[in-house]
Structure 1
Amino acid sequence: MRPAIEVADIFRRCGPQYRQTHAEGLSRAQRRVMSAIELCRTAALGAHLEQCNTCSHQRITYNSCRHRACPKCQSLARAQWLERRRAELLSSVEYFHVVFTLPESIAALALQNKKTLYDLLFRASAETLRTIAADPKHLGAEIGFITILHTWGQNLLHHPHVHCVVPGGGIAPDGERWIACRPGFFLPVRVLSRLFRRLFLGQLRRAFDAGALRFHGQLEPLRDPRAFAAWLAPAAHADWVVYAKPPFGGAEHVLDYLGRYTHRVAISNNRLLAFDERTVQFRWKDYRHEARQRTMTLTAHEFIRRFLLHVLPEGFRHIRSYGWMANCHRSDRLATCRQLLGVEAPAAASAEPSEDYRDRYQRLTGKSLRDCPVCGTGHMLRIESMPGSLPRAPPASVHAH
């Protein structure tokens, strides 16, 4: 059932004026996101006519925009990605969840240098995990893991952090045995935090020296090397937040988690409560006060501004894999892990040759897109296609990694 209020409603009603008011500050990627959300499931992108094979009820179904930033276009992409990850689970291994967060001062610079600093966040967090895990004082093994970038908090403000899902163990240096971590404990958070801080700041200084950073507005004085060094100095002594959550209950719980976190956008439609053309009200969890449920009201323009803060650079991969889960040798290294653990690979679900996106969606999610909304027993069959006035985006490939 369609939510009473959607992000698309806000963009369609207030987007045109927002473009005029903020014409100079919008990037090409942000403009494309706005257009995609506004046009999603409208006649502009085309449609098809469906008819029930039992009661002959007809309906027009409009095409989706397929954009990864659209709250309505991620269900199938998420289900397909999870199907691939299910085949990679190690059923006998405990899984852990580690979060690396950028300090608020660094986050302000990241907002002006998204690609550069988000890449640094990925690299520094991955190198931190791999280095500490390889140290014989801690685990002494090669690990593999998935890292997911999120740039938002529940209030939609900029809060860049990465979620890492890590099996609790790895391959011994000689490749002949599996080394498991202690039950319920993966790696020491304080050690991770200090190395993460050192690695990230070192890479950030090298990016500055290479002229790879941009400075605008209040940060423009940081172009001066001495000003930049003075601005960066407090971060080198602050505690950087690295949070290790309790281990997952099992391999399937990992998939439940990934299903909630991988293909998310800044806010889902079901969190929206009210929209009166001028203001938007939505639910949010206040994690600073025991995750209490609260409501927040923003002007429509402020809501759009906060939503657009989280538009990633075009082509940017927000899900990455490292160690023995890296794409280049994942299959071979997973086979080695299973051999060392003495476990079998999960059985993969097979697709029918004639399977289309609706069949695939039902197989992966258990939810049907074909059921007739009138009689409930028949299936809706496509009987006519209606081209739109604008081309649709191709399915995004950045989610597949």
Structure 2
Amino acid sequence: VLSRLFRRRFLEELQRLHQASRLQFFGEHAGLADAAQFKAWLAPLRKAEWVVYAKPPFAGPKAVLAYLSRYTHRVAISNSRLVAMDDQGVCFRWKDYRADKGDHAGRTRYKTMTLAPQEFMRRFLLHVLPGGFHRIRHYGLLANGSRRADLARVREALQVEVKPPSVDAEATPSAMQQAPVFVCHHCGRALLVVQTILRGEVIRGPPAS
């Protein structure tokens, strides 16, 4: 179902761009600029099955959720990779994945690159999705438009009793409040708060005798 939906949306967008004269054709494909030829060229694609390849994750579903959570909330480049910037260019760090392979073995893996501001913005905007597109979108039972009603029908069909969340009567408001979680920008793990130092408090005490 997902492959056919994507096929229809993709071909409809191609047709719209062609009607708006936003597609260019060269060489042996120059004839596709004609509306009739382009329509005939698209016809077989509407009948071809578009394959969606999926397989079970190696490390289990938790690893997939961890990867997707990082992917959906990151941008093209993080602030920590920016080294310097001015009117002349933008300097940033990048990782050379070929540094440890073949003839490149022994080279520095983390390098710096400086680009003109216009070129840096051009490359940055390549990671911005067009209007109407989403990085990850749920379909079927988890579609945003009908998720609550669909899940209610699923629970009814499976005869699953929905229990309200239990609240411990002995739990105090202070005990129910969780400590804030700070995440390391480098490894992505939660930071453990060892000590909280208030303003005006002496950080280091007298040396032990």
Q: Which has the higher contact order (CA 8 A, sep 6+)?
A: 1
The structure that has the greater radius of gyration is 2
Question: By percentage of residues, which structure has more strand?
Answer: 1
Question: Given the two structures, how large is their TM-score scaled by the length of structure 1?
Answer: 0.29
Taking structure 2 as the reference length, the TM-score comes to 0.48
